[in-house]
Amino acid sequence: MKRKYVVIGLGNFGFWVAKTLFEAHQETIAIDMNKEAVQRVNKFSNMAVIADVTNKETLVGLGIADCDAAVVSLGDHPAASTLVTLYLHEMGVKQILVKAIDENHAKILRKVGATDIIFPEKDMGIKVAKTLVSPNILDFIEMTEDYEITQIGPPASFIGKTLMELELPSRFGLQVIAVRELIPENFIPAPRADFVIKDSDILYILGRKKDIERIKAL
């Protein structure tokens, strides 16, 4: 299912978040005060805007209240990121992911409404270390050009149905090899046939690229 995201702050981290969301066929709004940063992300977003995000009325006018989730990445500007996080919380955005500069900043962000705190260097360092200790078997699977493993949000027609009811192997030639639940955060490898799909789930699918594109188009 297509969701709507806003990325506020378009440094390297914000740029790649916006680009990845857009390429995953999600509706993506990208905002920054820097003209060059906005121009850089323009072709990788549905709407790229030069705006002062510390003005709440600006965010309201851009329809940010309708977003399913927001990513705030304002670099070394803790006051601005804190204020924006508060605005997003007051506007009713359900999932607010914010890049923090340190643990004290993270505590403040949680108090004003952040649902998830991001420490890019710390998180990547942990991921690299875990990969070294326990390599992901998927990294060693040699795929043909026709096949891929990808993650998608479930189409609306999948919501509320079990994997058995969806019959993805017979209808589309696809296998759901894992599910990441966002609410609450949980990872389920090899989900059972009676697993019920929710709109907040992320599906990890194995199959031919053309068949995966058929699912994304639903």
Residue range 57-99, pLDDT digits in tens: 999 999 999 999 999 999 789 999 999 999 999 999 999 999 9
- 114 and 21, same domain (yes or no): yes
- 144 and 81, same domain (yes or no): no
**Kindly report the CA angle at 215 between 213 and 217, in degrees rounded to 5?**
70
Name which of 5, 47, 48 is nearest 24 in CA terms: 5
Q: Which helix (H) or strand (E) holds 37?
A: helix 35-41
- 113 and 159, same domain (yes or no): no
Model-wide pTM > 0.85? no
- 10 and 113, same domain (yes or no): yes
Distances (CA, A) of 50 to 39, 55, 158: 9, 12, 37
CA–CA separation, 162 and 218 (whole Å)? 17
- 121 and 61, same domain (yes or no): yes
- 83 and 22, same domain (yes or no): yes
CA–CA separation, 33 and 27 (whole Å)? 21
Please indicate, yes or no, if residue 153 is contained in any of the structural domains. yes
Please indicate, yes or no, if residue 132 is contained in any of the structural domains. no
Total domain count, the chain: 2
**pLDDT under 70 in the chain at which residues?**
1, 130-145
- 79 and 30, same domain (yes or no): yes
Please indicate, yes or no, if residue 116 is contained in any of the structural domains. yes
Q: Which two tokens stand for residue 26?
A: 């999600």
Would you call 74 exposed, middle or buried from its count of C-beta atoms within 10 A (0-12, 13-18, 19+)?
Answer: buried
- 61 and 111, same domain (yes or no): yes
- 42 and 150, same domain (yes or no): no
- 30 and 106, same domain (yes or no): yes
Please indicate, yes or no, if residue 94 is contained in any of the structural domains. yes
Q: Which two tokens stand for residue 145?
A: 């050009």
pLDDT at res. 33: 94
CA–CA separation, 154 and 145 (whole Å)? 24
Please indicate, yes or no, if residue 109 is contained in any of the structural domains. yes
Distances (CA, A) of 211 to 2, 20, 150: 17, 20, 12
- 195 and 151, same domain (yes or no): yes
Name which of 164, 202, 174 is nearest 186 in CA terms: 202
pLDDT at res. 126: 77
pLDDT at res. 32: 96
Would you call 106 exposed, middle or buried from its count of C-beta atoms within 10 A (0-12, 13-18, 19+)?
Answer: middle
Domain range for 58: 4-126
CA–CA separation, 50 and 86 (whole Å)? 20
Name which of 20, 70, 10 is nearest 41 in CA terms: 10
pLDDT at res. 135: 53
